[in-house]
Structure 1
Amino acid sequence: MFEIAMLVSSVCGVLVAAWLLWRAGKQGDLQALAGFAIMMAIWCFGHVALFQGYERVGIYIILANPLMPTFFLHFAICFVNSGPAKEEMLDRLHQAVPWFYTTSSVVVLQSWWMGAGDAISTLDTRLFFIFTEAGTWNLAYTVLIGILAHGVLLFGWYRHTGNRKRSILAMFGVGAWGLLLATSFVFPSFGISWFPYPMLLLPTYLLLLVYGVVRYQILSVNAFANRALLWVAMMLVILCLIAVISVVSGRVGLQALASVPSWQLWLYSLLMLMMSALIYQPLNRLISRVIYPGAVLNETVLETWSSQLKEAQDWPQLISIGERLLTSQVRQNIKITLENDQEEKKSGNNKNELSLRVFRTESAWHFSLVGWEDASPGMRLTADVFASLFSTSCGLLDRSLALAAAERKRLDEQHLVELGGLSAAMAHELRNPLNIIAMAAYDAPPETRQHIQTQLQRADRLVSDMLVYSGGLSLQISRTPLHALVMNVLAQAQLGAIKYEVLIDKSLELDVDPQRLQQVFINLIDNAVAFLRNQKDAKLSIDASVEKNQVIIQVHNNGPEIEPSLQEDTLFQPFITKRAGGSGLGLAIVRRIVDAHGGRIRHRSDTNWPVTFEIVLPQRKEEHDAK
């Protein structure tokens, strides 16, 4: 039994090392752990060699045991010192790792040269390893390196949190189990004649150690551990049942069954269990195809669906990917629609068309299959599984877009703060030289002085626009007649030959900040005048109406239409302009002022005018406050 246990440990060590090297990639910790597994496999094989009579080979292999804790120390240093924050002490230890390997190799060579190990006959004259007096240094060095490795893990337990801390805690528990098993290894060296029964369980140490390390890094290992634990539990249950059957069968008259040795019953049951494990998956697939014909669902399909749906960056892309995947799976054209709520999904249903409706409630995303009543059970199952996965992807994308929008808003606010500081500095630095230029131009010829004054006013306007857009916006609300405010702005505007009309009731009043609202009309009118000045039959019209306690103001002009490339959002963005000499802040300032009043502004192309800007403002102050 001992020989079998050592042989199983060797095979497990080789397989685990190969698996770790396959999954490690460039992870130094898993590579070092693979080295530890290989050394443990070699060490266990040394005991097998002794049992088979290869005394010198077995002793030399077992005396190489200092390399085993050295690999584990290397693993512990890499595992604990991973992550963005590096520890100086662990960095120095990591640099000293080659010296640890060199020292361990020297200890092994010295142990070979000094004859640090020997073999005694136990268990029917079979050989078992013991340390000689010269091997005390080998054993002490091995223990010291093991203590250092666990000291590094203890440091990591205090330093880390979360899954890495849980892994270290699991390693300490497994380490205690391994120490209990390996302690019996030195019994013969101290004259204790007990057979090292605990070492029969040594294969479990390596498996538990690796599982404790990778269970939070490689999630697929948890599925394997779940199946393995299930089969072990079933074997234990069978063992208990066989014991009960052996005791009870003779008393109930089943003498033939009672005469069968218990180990044979257990072996037969174990073989049946293994046969069941082998045929379970094929039978499961066969039965699924009988019950759900046409449905081909497995882990590969689900993983493909999940990975491709996660690639969607917006709603149209998610719908396109979903329709392609489901259509390919069921081999029929499928339409996927997103609804705002459950009531809307009832509208426009075509019973002859297979579709998937996904809608959102306050708590989560849900789905409904439309037109699938005549579909086969296999197709219906496929659609149900896909719809559940698709609705989950909708929730993930929804949260992702919300986070992206919040991040964009944060960056915009940060940009405004920076722009405000820059604008204040520019206003201070530019206005002083502008005043000096204005005074220096006082004695210039009238035509030159007028030209300089015009350009200085333009520069001052640019600075003022930047200050208005980037600075804090506070409102001084008062009752304001709209007609008088618009007429005052038109009186100051340089309209020239442009004809205008104002269709606003003189009794119409709003609770607004008159200075800020005046700035809105100045910017809109100046922007229109810039395009109308050289146009024949140029005309400007401003009208207002009241609907449901909201004032709708429209500013029309018959200038050139706004290019389609300037969409609604782009049009009101700062520094976007098609106007020669414009700052690109006029419409951005207008929207900011309107938003501050609790209103909204948009460009309309569905009126009888080429260009229309529509402003919607609350008429009463209490309504604005309520918003």
Structure 2
Amino acid sequence: MLSTVFELSIWVTSVCGVLVAGWLIWRADKQRDLMALAGFAVMMALWCFGHLALFHEQHSIGMCLLLANPLMPTFFLHFAVLFVNEGPAQRPWLNALSRYMPCVYLTSVMVMIYSVWVGAGDTTPLLDGRPFFIFNQLGAINLGYTVLVGIAGHGVLLLGWQQHSGNKRRSILAMFGVGAWGLLLATSFIFPSLGINVFPYPMLLLPSYLLLLVYGVVRYQILAVNRFANRALLVLVMMLVVLCVIAVLGTFSGRIGLVALTNVPIWQLWLYSLVVLLIAAVVYPWVRQLSERMVFPGAVLNEQILEHWNRQLGQAKSWHDLVTEGESLLLQQLRLPVSICLSGHAKSDGHYLVLDKAESGWFSHSENSDDLSPGMRLTLEVFGSLFATSCAALERSLALAETERKRLDEQHLVELGSLSAAMAHELRNPLNIISMASYNAPADTRRHIQEQLTRADRLVSDMLVYSGKITLQYQPVSIKPLVNSVIASLNTENVLMTLQLADDVTVQADPHRLQQVFINLIDNALAYVRNQTDGSICIEAQTDAQSFICRIHNNGPALEASLHGGELFRPFVTKRSGGSGLGLAIVRRILDAHSGQIAHRNDCGWPVTFEFSLPPNAVHQPSGESIDV
């Protein structure tokens, strides 16, 4: 019985070696390291065939195959060199070793030929009188050389583990673990050669060594291997469960009246159960497909379809493209139109896939789908889940694109500001030269030139203020004296100026910047009311625990509807003759630096009102402290 199990294990290892070698050659795709690993699998299969040849009295063939064992670690060494020396960080000594690998192969072949020539192996009756291979005294060279090459291969892996990172480092670590397992199994093969007459129980697990070694190498390179390993592990666990259950039934069957079952040998029960389990594992995919088609007729879903859906939806660059592509895919799959609604409600007619967004993310549900077959509803449910994932991915992509666009816009504004400041500084010199050159010109000409120079100088000043960095020096500012000083510096002839300001209105702000705000707003109002016979400007302010609010009214012409809102405060937007278009933009920039706000209003009883506010409590800095904005 034990001899039969041993022979079965060797057969399984041989077949696995051939199948693994063929699979590696098929998947290698010109990868030399996998080709070398395939050679290792072939040599292990031949080594196992040598044991089988001895069992069946083919002494010469068996000895040749078993004494060829130096080629096994030679192929492994070649694989280790190629596997570790991949990538940009190649080592010169590994390149040299790779070039000398033909010499190592030749040496291994010579050791094999020498071992066969001198008869370095014998047999001993170990398994029910059946012959088992042992090394004699002349086989010490063969055994020592094999061990030496194996150590060299694992030494190369150790250096590779220090050199690499990521998946390659994990693969090398897995190979070391499998190597320890292989060493444990190999010791039982050596025991009879050392005179230890113990049955080589570990060799019963030889199939696991080869499969684990290959899996440790390719699991991080070929994803299909992981799916196969998942199924194989499931079958293995089920086999162990069956063995345990059969053992329990064989022990207690006689006590519960199952005498016939008690008379069946336990190994036969195990064998029958394992055969049934293997047959069930083989036919399970077809049975599952049949049951799915019976329960969900019309639903044809597989990995290829899901991958196609995911690839097509991932190419969408906008919400419109995503919805259009989704509806097209559903039409191809279901053969009927299905509309997709994003965060909306479906209509009463037609079939709909509705996508909504909650705190946990996007989710989908179908509407008006009661008349669809179960298979179609399942397809719609699976597609909806995948489409929700695509919505989340597109949302993140668009958010990143918007962030990048804003960053580029801000960078462009910074560059434009620097350019404007440089141009403004350069314009000052020619303006001064023109002013001096016009000194001897006729009075009318000189006056006209001076007016245009004043206009150009103001434009330059505004550009410097708008493009420069704003540094705030916070301190208490009394509003009424500040406004009076501003009015005194401006030409307010023929304009009625009304102040509705309390004497104790004080705010925390930069006095020079706040003065600029009042200058720009009042001067802007004067430009429109100065030529009216009844021109009037009213300035009122109030403060409370929440904020400081100031309104500057004038009875000039009302603004066009197109200028209402934020458009009015954009740079170079103006309806004022001779204006630079930067006055209100500068005001907004200064108030933004103070965490304040400004708006245009036409509901205060005046044709035009500008209202700005400052939060004295929210922006409350100690006197003299500066903030760069």
| Pair in the same fold by TM > 0.5 | yes
1:207 aligns with 2:207: no
1:109 aligns with 2:106: no
Asked if the contact 2:219/2:226 (under 8 Å) is kept, the reply is: yes
Going from structure 1 to structure 2, the CA distance change for 1:433 and 1:204 (only over 3 Å counts) comes to: same
Asked if the contact 1:355/1:370 (under 8 Å) is kept, the reply is: yes
State how 1:375-414 maps to structure 2 within 5 Å: 375-406=372-403
Going from structure 1 to structure 2, the CA distance change for 1:112 and 1:265 (only over 3 Å counts) comes to: closer
Within the candidate set 286, 295, 304, 1:282 is matched to 286
User: Equivalents in 2 of 1:588, 1:77: separation in Å?
Assistant: 69
- C-alpha deviation, 1:95, in angstroms: 0.7
Aligned to 1:532: none
User: Equivalents in 2 of 1:236, 1:595: separation in Å?
Assistant: 73
Aligned to 1:301: 305
- C-alpha deviation, 1:91, in angstroms: 1.6
Asked if the contact 1:600/1:615 (under 8 Å) is kept, the reply is: no
User: Equivalents in 1 of 2:585, 2:67: separation in Å?
Assistant: 80
Asked if the contact 1:330/1:379 (under 8 Å) is kept, the reply is: yes
1:327 partner amino acid: L
Aligned to 1:362: 359
User: Equivalents in 1 of 2:498, 2:358: separation in Å?
Assistant: 45
State how 1:459-478 maps to structure 2 within 5 Å: 465=463, 468-469=466-467, 471=469
1:219 aligns with 2:219: no
Asked if the contact 2:346/2:354 (under 8 Å) is kept, the reply is: no
Going from structure 1 to structure 2, the CA distance change for 1:142 and 1:120 (only over 3 Å counts) comes to: closer
SS in 2 for 1:187: helix
Going from structure 1 to structure 2, the CA distance change for 1:370 and 1:122 (only over 3 Å counts) comes to: same
- C-alpha deviation, 1:558, in angstroms: 8.7
Going from structure 1 to structure 2, the CA distance change for 1:103 and 1:63 (only over 3 Å counts) comes to: farther
Within the candidate set 145, 151, 155, 1:147 is matched to 151
- C-alpha deviation, 1:456, in angstroms: 13
User: Equivalents in 2 of 1:384, 1:216: separation in Å?
Assistant: 32
- C-alpha deviation, 1:204, in angstroms: 0.5
Going from structure 1 to structure 2, the CA distance change for 1:362 and 1:112 (only over 3 Å counts) comes to: closer
- TM-score, normalization by structure 2: 0.68
Aligned to 2:98: 98
Aligned to 2:21: 17
- Structure 2 gap ranges (5+): 526-538, 542-546, 573-579, 600-608, 621-629
User: Equivalents in 1 of 2:435, 2:424: separation in Å?
Assistant: 17
User: Equivalents in 1 of 2:583, 2:32: separation in Å?
Assistant: 59
Bigger Cα displacement from structure 2, 456-465 vs 94-103: 456-465
Going from structure 1 to structure 2, the CA distance change for 1:30 and 1:240 (only over 3 Å counts) comes to: same
User: Equivalents in 2 of 1:274, 1:72: separation in Å?
Assistant: 32
Bigger Cα displacement from structure 2, 263-272 vs 50-59: 50-59
User: Equivalents in 2 of 1:443, 1:219: separation in Å?
Assistant: 83
1:317 aligns with 2:321: yes
Asked if the contact 2:9/2:206 (under 8 Å) is kept, the reply is: yes
- C-alpha deviation, 1:180, in angstroms: 0.7
- TM-score, normalization by structure 1: 0.69
Asked if the contact 1:184/1:196 (under 8 Å) is kept, the reply is: yes
User: Equivalents in 2 of 1:463, 1:14: separation in Å?
Assistant: 86
The C-alpha deviation readout for 1:424-483, integer Å capped at 9, x for no partner, is 9x94x99579748965995699799x99998999899789859954856769797989xx
1:352 aligns with 2:349: yes
Going from structure 1 to structure 2, the CA distance change for 1:622 and 1:131 (only over 3 Å counts) comes to: same
User: Equivalents in 2 of 1:410, 1:255: separation in Å?
Assistant: 83
Aligned to 1:186: 190
- C-alpha deviation, 1:309, in angstroms: 2.6
Within the candidate set 265, 273, 282, 1:269 is matched to 273
Aligned to 1:120: 122
SS in 2 for 1:115: helix
User: Equivalents in 2 of 1:40, 1:378: separation in Å?
Assistant: 49
The count of residues paired between Structure 1 and Structure 2 equals 564
Going from structure 1 to structure 2, the CA distance change for 1:558 and 1:255 (only over 3 Å counts) comes to: closer
Within the candidate set 172, 177, 183, 1:168 is matched to 172
Aligned to 1:36: 40
Going from structure 1 to structure 2, the CA distance change for 1:379 and 1:112 (only over 3 Å counts) comes to: closer
Asked if the contact 2:330/2:338 (under 8 Å) is kept, the reply is: yes
Aligned to 1:611: none
Asked if the contact 2:124/2:133 (under 8 Å) is kept, the reply is: no
- C-alpha deviation, 1:179, in angstroms: 0.5
Asked if the contact 2:54/2:131 (under 8 Å) is kept, the reply is: yes
- C-alpha deviation, 1:352, in angstroms: 1.9
**Identity over aligned residues, as a percent?**
48
The C-alpha deviation readout for 1:344-403, integer Å capped at 9, x for no partner, is x4xx54222322222222232233322224433333222222222222222233334444
2:106 partner amino acid: V
Asked if the contact 1:591/1:601 (under 8 Å) is kept, the reply is: yes
User: Equivalents in 1 of 2:31, 2:464: separation in Å?
Assistant: 53
Going from structure 1 to structure 2, the CA distance change for 1:106 and 1:600 (only over 3 Å counts) comes to: farther
Going from structure 1 to structure 2, the CA distance change for 1:68 and 1:114 (only over 3 Å counts) comes to: closer
Asked if the contact 1:601/1:616 (under 8 Å) is kept, the reply is: yes
State how 1:433-582 maps to structure 2 within 5 Å: 435=429, 439=433, 465=463, 468-469=466-467, 471=469, 513=513
User: Equivalents in 2 of 1:461, 1:81: separation in Å?
Assistant: 67
Going from structure 1 to structure 2, the CA distance change for 1:372 and 1:586 (only over 3 Å counts) comes to: farther
Going from structure 1 to structure 2, the CA distance change for 1:238 and 1:436 (only over 3 Å counts) comes to: same
SS in 2 for 1:372: coil
User: Equivalents in 1 of 2:218, 2:479: separation in Å?
Assistant: 71
Asked if the contact 2:50/2:62 (under 8 Å) is kept, the reply is: yes
The C-alpha deviation readout for 1:536-585, integer Å capped at 9, x for no partner, is xxxxxxxx9x9xx99999x99999x99xxxxx99x98x99xxxxxxx999
Asked if the contact 1:289/1:295 (under 8 Å) is kept, the reply is: yes
User: Equivalents in 2 of 1:108, 1:307: separation in Å?
Assistant: 50
- C-alpha deviation, 1:405, in angstroms: 4.3
Asked if the contact 2:67/2:115 (under 8 Å) is kept, the reply is: no
User: Equivalents in 2 of 1:102, 1:412: separation in Å?
Assistant: 62
Going from structure 1 to structure 2, the CA distance change for 1:119 and 1:367 (only over 3 Å counts) comes to: same
1:119 partner amino acid: G
- C-alpha deviation, 1:338, in angstroms: 2.1
1:335 aligns with 2:370: no
Bigger Cα displacement from structure 2, 192-201 vs 437-446: 437-446
User: Equivalents in 1 of 2:57, 2:132: separation in Å?
Assistant: 10
1:118 partner amino acid: A
2:238 partner amino acid: M
Going from structure 1 to structure 2, the CA distance change for 1:52 and 1:254 (only over 3 Å counts) comes to: closer
User: Equivalents in 1 of 2:7, 2:47: separation in Å?
Assistant: 13
User: Equivalents in 2 of 1:75, 1:456: separation in Å?
Assistant: 84
Asked if the contact 2:250/2:262 (under 8 Å) is kept, the reply is: yes
Aligned to 2:623: none
- C-alpha deviation, 1:174, in angstroms: 1.4
SS in 1 for 2:91: helix
SS in 1 for 2:340: strand
Asked if the contact 1:357/1:369 (under 8 Å) is kept, the reply is: yes
Within the candidate set 372, 377, 388, 2:369 is matched to 372
RMSD over aligned CA atoms reads 5.6
Aligned to 1:578: none
- C-alpha deviation, 1:236, in angstroms: 2.4
